[in-house]
Amino acid sequence: MSPASRSVPEQGMSVDQELVQRVQAGDKNAFDVLIIKYQQRIINVITGFVHDPVEAQDVAQEAFVKAYRAIPNFRGDSAFYTWLYRIAINTSKNHLAARARRPPTSDVDAADATNVYDAPELKEFETPESNLVSDELEQAIHQAIDELQEDTATAIKLREFEGMSYEEISEAMECPIGTVRSRIFRAREAIEQRIQTVMGEGEQP
Amino acid sequence: MQRLAQVCLGFCLSLSSAISTAEPEAVALLERMGTAAKKLNYDGVFTYQMGRKVQAIRIIHSANENGEVERLLSLNGAARELIRTNDHVTCIFPEGKRINVDRRPLGRGFPSDLLSRMSSATPYYAITMGDNGRVANRKAKQLVVSPVDDYRYGYHLWVDKETDLLLQSDLLTDKGQVLESFTFSSINLNVDIPELALKPQIEGQALSWNRNQTEPVSQRRAKEKGLSSSLWQVGWLPEGFALVAEQSRRKAHNDKVVEQRVYSDGLSSVSVFIEQKAAHHHLEGGSRMGAINAFGVMEDNHYITAVGQVPGHTVEKIVRSITMAE
Amino acid sequence: MTANEEELLSALVDGELQGEALDSAIALLSTNEAAKKRFQRYQLTSNVLNGHAIGHQQQDMTQKISAVIAEEPAHSINVIQTNEPALEAPQTEPPTAEVLTFPERFWKQTVGLAVAASFGALAVVGTMTQPEYSVMPASPLASLAAADEPAQTAQVATQMPQEPSNRWTVTEQEIEDRLNVYLVDHNEYAGASDIFSNARVIAYESGQ
């Protein structure tokens, strides 16, 4: 690959770093991007501690707000997600501790009133219905990928399964970075078409 | 090893470099051994033995001014071939079998890498000359590689007296039990290798890859990829072990990200794997497979496992020292 | 929303935007509700492919969080809020050698077949099969001086079965499979610098 085709500058600051800097400079919209990017994963983490899905979401929101408040102190020693992850864990533990201190009511299961992580099987909290939807969605996505043209499929697979950057993919596939970007976009468009029929208009988030 | 003896040994080692842990003659032999594997032509059969399993493998190696070509083929069990030309490795599996050992680079082949690893590991291993013996009907000299503590394994190596080629390598516990062994049963040295002998004979799926000339990745970039690399701290490692590699990888498309950290003293290595708990069963406690030991715990919604070619109590101690940073 | 704008959002999911392009994307998301929804869908797909989606509970929290944050004072890059505890990185680990992080650019493969083989589920090396013939490790060094220890009679003091086994000593297939996956990953580094490393590739056999 000729250097001229590289669009990524040498120092390669990550997009998370850039977003954090914008938030630190006062751009609250940039924080929205970080929320959208990480909310699902943070909820997953918190669900391990706080089993009820609605409660977990509350805790997740609390964690994000805490992160926003503390972001001026984020120095970039670790990855943003790492930092956010620790906030989520701490928020979860504090939440459990606070819940344990509340006087028990008849609604509270005694077993829940513990701040020790209890390692539930996650399956317990996946209702059959939500499982079904998730499987259907997953299948649709994989089917869509199977039907893609080879180059397009390769590009999205290298990106999502192998976590390669556009630059790495362009080297592996021996094509310009712009081509990588548009192939991945095409793949996402095709997937989008397919899942729209699965999910139906009304279910879009 | 007795605590007292260990302390004394450690004291002696650090006291003076005149009390060398590596006899010059032994180190010189090690160096020549490394070169021999690269530069000689040979055609032989060796067995790889771990536990009760014995695998017979034929190796054909040719070297000239352009570099090396090496072909390995399995002689029992499933037919399988591997061909290495300088930096390019191709592995061929029989048709229809979805065996994917790995399409990532597997290393520098035969023993040529041992020396560079030994030089960094020397403080933690004593390298001395052993007795004479015979392997594959050839005279051989023994090299003894002894670790300074019982957190790692040692080796007995037998080197061909005439050509300095490595003929046998045994991995040993401190009590002398052989856990793994590579042994030539027959070998022809300094022969002409016809080109045909280096061409693959079986048909099957071929996987090819180039060996990695890894570029150091900028630390920031590395942290982006290592999701929770600063979340977990390893509290204890055997002396001389340092972090030498790390990666995060997504497993099967349904699974979570697994973080791997590789620690090594240059010769022995242990990988620590950390992944978020999913609705699965996982190793809790110890397990072993031949020379390889594993130990796992669950902590803070994560599975933490260490795997390596080190004694069981080593992986256990490492895993038990891992905590989440607050 | 134009196709260009959609492609911008796709690149944002991959973190491949910076500078002005990133500014454009942020602005687009904040002003265009359809763009925001599209971005979330792309992110959902990515989450599913990466195994992050447990159940279809993809709720968007940006509304609620933004509402709270809107009440907060805007940050300014020159101000460090001292009342919030600094979240420091933890103590450093033992001294590191040159740290390699992989995978990076590392492979050129024969197109098609090899590429197809590497995607999807990581095919495990597989458990070692029962040997076709079993041989007690015999020392070929029959003429060796007696100073050598009797290599095979000593036993390793662990709670495990004392003969070295050729399978993991666990009772569940799932655990065994995962350990084999770990072992493949470990050998990628450790096997790389071991003696006879290529021989191990040959020696492992599929349990299928």
In chain A, residues with a C-beta closer than 8 Å to the C-beta of C36 are: 32, 36
In tens, the pLDDT along B168-194 reads: 988 888 888 888 888 899 999 878 888
**Quick check: C46 and A195 CB within 8 A?**
no
In chain A, residues with a C-beta closer than 8 Å to the C-beta of C55 are: 126-127, 130-131, 133-134
Q: Looking at the domain assignment, is residue A1 inside a domain?
A: no
Distance of residue C2 Cα from the nearest chain B Cα, in angstroms? 31
Task: Please determine, for residue A128, whether its predicted confidence score (pLDDT) is greater than 60.
Answer: no
> Taking CB atoms and an 8 Å cut-off, how many pairs form between chains A and B?
59
Mean pLDDT, range B38-42, rounded to an integer:
87
Q: Are residues A23 and A85 in the same domain?
A: yes
In chain B, residues with a C-beta closer than 8 Å to the C-beta of A17 are: 220
A16-30, A127-141, C68-82: lowest mean pLDDT where? A127-141
> How do the residues of chain A divide into helix, strand and coil, expressed in percent and rounded to 5?
70, 0, 30
Q: Looking at the domain assignment, is residue C17 inside a domain?
A: yes
CA R_g for chain B: 21
Q: Are residues C46 and C104 in the same domain?
A: no
Evaluate the CA torsion angle C111, B205, C175, B283 in order and state its sign: negative
Task: Please determine, for residue C98, whether its predicted confidence score (pLDDT) is greater than 50.
Answer: no
- pLDDT recorded at residue A134: 66
- pLDDT recorded at residue B46: 87
Q: How far apart are CA B270 and CA B322, in angstroms?
A: 14
Closest of A67, A92, A90, A91 to residue A80, by C-alpha: A67
- pLDDT recorded at residue C86: 40
Residue A45 near chain B (CB below 8 Å) = yes
Q: Are residues A99 and A141 in the same domain?
A: no
Token code pair at residue B179: 């856990």
**Residues in chain A, how many?**
205
CATH level 2 (architecture), domain B3-210: Clam (2.50)
Q: Determine if residue B200 is left, alpha or beta; phi over 0 gives left, psi from -120 to 50 gives alpha, anything else beta.
A: beta
Distance of residue C7 Cα from the nearest chain B Cα, in angstroms? 23
Distance of residue A46 Cα from the nearest chain B Cα, in angstroms? 10
Task: Please determine, for residue B132, whether its predicted confidence score (pLDDT) is greater than 60.
Answer: yes
**Quick check: B247 and C148 CB within 8 A?**
no
- pLDDT recorded at residue B273: 92
**Quick check: B114 and C195 CB within 8 A?**
yes
Nearest CA in chain C to A186: C7
- pLDDT recorded at residue C50: 77
Nearest neighbour of A117 by CB, restricted to B229, B276, B300: B300
- Type of residue at A201: E
Q: Which CATH number does the domain housing residue A163 bear?
A: 1.10.10.10
Q: Which CATH number does the domain housing residue A34 bear?
A: 1.10.1740.10
Q: How confident is the model at residue B296 (pLDDT cuts 50, 70, 90)?
A: very high
Task: Please determine, for residue C16, whether its predicted confidence score (pLDDT) is greater than 90.
Answer: yes
Q: Are residues C193 and C107 in the same domain?
A: yes
**Quick check: B168 and C140 CB within 8 A?**
yes
First to last CA, chain C: 51
Q: Looking at the domain assignment, is residue C108 inside a domain?
A: yes
In tens, the pLDDT along C165-180 reads: 667 888 777 788 788 7
Token code pair at residue B243: 């972090």
Q: How far apart are CA C129 and CA B80, in angstroms?
A: 15
Q: Are residues A19 and A75 in the same domain?
A: yes
Let me know the angle formed at the C-alpha of A189 by A185 and A195, rounded to the nearest 5 degrees: 140
In chain A, residues with a C-beta closer than 8 Å to the C-beta of C1 are: none
- Identify the three-state secondary structure at position A196: helix
> Taking CB atoms and an 8 Å cut-off, how many pairs form between chains A and C?
197
Q: Looking at the domain assignment, is residue A28 inside a domain?
A: yes
Contact B223, B174 (CB under 8 A): no
Residue B286 near chain A (CB below 8 Å) = no
Residue, of C143 and A50, whose pLDDT is higher = A50
Most confident region among A2-16, B5-19, B258-272 by mean pLDDT: B258-272
* Number of folded domains that form chain C: 2
Q: Are residues A115 and A147 in the same domain?
A: no
Give me the domain span that covers residue A43.
Answer: 7-124
Q: Are residues A101 and A38 in the same domain?
A: yes
| Exposure on the CB side of residue A113, measured as CA atoms within 13 A | 11
**Quick check: A122 and B276 CB within 8 A?**
no
Q: Looking at the domain assignment, is residue C200 inside a domain?
A: yes
* Number of folded domains that form chain A: 2
Q: Which of C15, C31, C52 is the last residue of a domain?
A: C52
Residue, of B213 and A164, whose pLDDT is higher = A164
Q: Which of A63, A90, A124 is the last residue of a domain?
A: A124
**Residues in chain B, how many?**
326
- pLDDT recorded at residue B326: 57
In chain B, residues with a C-beta closer than 8 Å to the C-beta of C134 are: 52, 54
Q: How confident is the model at residue B317 (pLDDT cuts 50, 70, 90)?
A: very high
- Type of residue at C114: A
Contact B169, B182 (CB under 8 A): yes
- pLDDT recorded at residue B230: 55
Mean pLDDT, range C84-93, rounded to an integer:
39
Subunits close to A (at least 3 CB pairs below 8 A): B, C
Q: Are residues A95 and A149 in the same domain?
A: no
Residue intervals in chain B for CATH 2.50.20.10: 3-210
Nearest CA in chain A to C122: A161
Closest of C108, C104, C189, A10 to residue B215, by C-alpha: C104
Q: Are residues C108 and C170 in the same domain?
A: yes
Residues paired with B140 in a beta bridge? B133, B160
Site of tokens 């098609």: C112
- pLDDT recorded at residue B319: 96
Give me the domain span that covers residue C22.
Answer: 3-52
Q: How confident is the model at residue B96 (pLDDT cuts 50, 70, 90)?
A: very low
Residue B224 near chain A (CB below 8 Å) = yes
In chain C, residues with a C-beta closer than 8 Å to the C-beta of A134 are: 48, 53-56
- pLDDT recorded at residue B227: 43
Q: What is the 3-state secondary structure (H, E, C) of B307-325?
A: EECCCHHHHHHHHHCEEEC
In chain A, residues with a C-beta closer than 8 Å to the C-beta of C42 are: 188, 192
In chain C, residues with a C-beta closer than 8 Å to the C-beta of B113 are: 192-195, 197
Contact C8, C24 (CB under 8 A): yes
Closest of A76, A104, A94 to residue A14, by C-alpha: A76
Q: Are residues C33 and C122 in the same domain?
A: no
Q: How confident is the model at residue B320 (pLDDT cuts 50, 70, 90)?
A: very high
In tens, the pLDDT along C138-159 reads: 222 322 222 233 333 222 222 2
Select the residue from A7, A13, A15 to test the C interface by mutation, using most C Cβ atoms within 10 A.
A15
Residue, of C68 and C171, whose pLDDT is higher = C68
Q: Are residues C203 and C111 in the same domain?
A: yes
Site of tokens 């390699």: C100
Select the residue from C62, C91, C113, C174 to test the A interface by mutation, using most A Cβ atoms within 10 A.
C62
Q: Looking at the domain assignment, is residue C11 inside a domain?
A: yes
pTM of the full structure? 0.50
Residue intervals in chain B for CATH 3.30.200.100: 219-324
Mean pLDDT, range C67-83, rounded to an integer:
69
Q: Are residues A40 and A69 in the same domain?
A: yes
Q: How far apart are CA B162 and CA C35, in angstroms?
A: 74
Subunits close to C (at least 3 CB pairs below 8 A): A, B
**Quick check: C179 and B222 CB within 8 A?**
no
ipTM field? 0.80
**Quick check: A117 and B301 CB within 8 A?**
yes
Contact B29, B129 (CB under 8 A): yes
Q: Which of C52, C67, C90 is the last residue of a domain?
A: C52
Residue, of B26 and C79, whose pLDDT is higher = B26
Q: Which of A99, A124, A149 is the last residue of a domain?
A: A124
Q: How far apart are CA A150 and CA A20, in angstroms?
A: 36
Evaluate the CA torsion angle C166, C171, C174, C178 in order and state its sign: negative
Q: Cis bond leading into C73, ω under 30°?
A: no
Strands (E), B78-196: 81-85, 88-94, 125-135, 138-147, 154-160, 166-172, 178-189
Nearest neighbour of A138 by CB, restricted to C48, C72, C108: C48
Residues paired with B156 in a beta bridge? B144, B170
Topology (CATH) of B219-324 = Phosphorylase Kinase; domain 1 (3.30.200)
Q: How far apart are CA B243 and CA A73, in angstroms?
A: 28
Token code pair at residue C127: 């458990």
Site of tokens 């996982």: B282
Q: How confident is the model at residue A9 (pLDDT cuts 50, 70, 90)?
A: very low
- pLDDT recorded at residue C140: 28
Most confident region among A126-130, B298-302, C53-57, C136-140 by mean pLDDT: B298-302
Q: Which of A92, A108, A124 is the last residue of a domain?
A: A124
- Type of residue at B233: Q
What average pLDDT does chain B have?
Answer: 73
Distance of residue B160 Cα from the nearest chain C Cα, in angstroms? 13
Q: Are residues A16 and A79 in the same domain?
A: yes
Q: How confident is the model at residue B110 (pLDDT cuts 50, 70, 90)?
A: very low
Mean pLDDT, range C182-201, rounded to an integer:
60
In chain C, residues with a C-beta closer than 8 Å to the C-beta of A69 are: 72, 81, 84
Q: Looking at the domain assignment, is residue A2 inside a domain?
A: no
Q: Are residues A96 and A131 in the same domain?
A: no
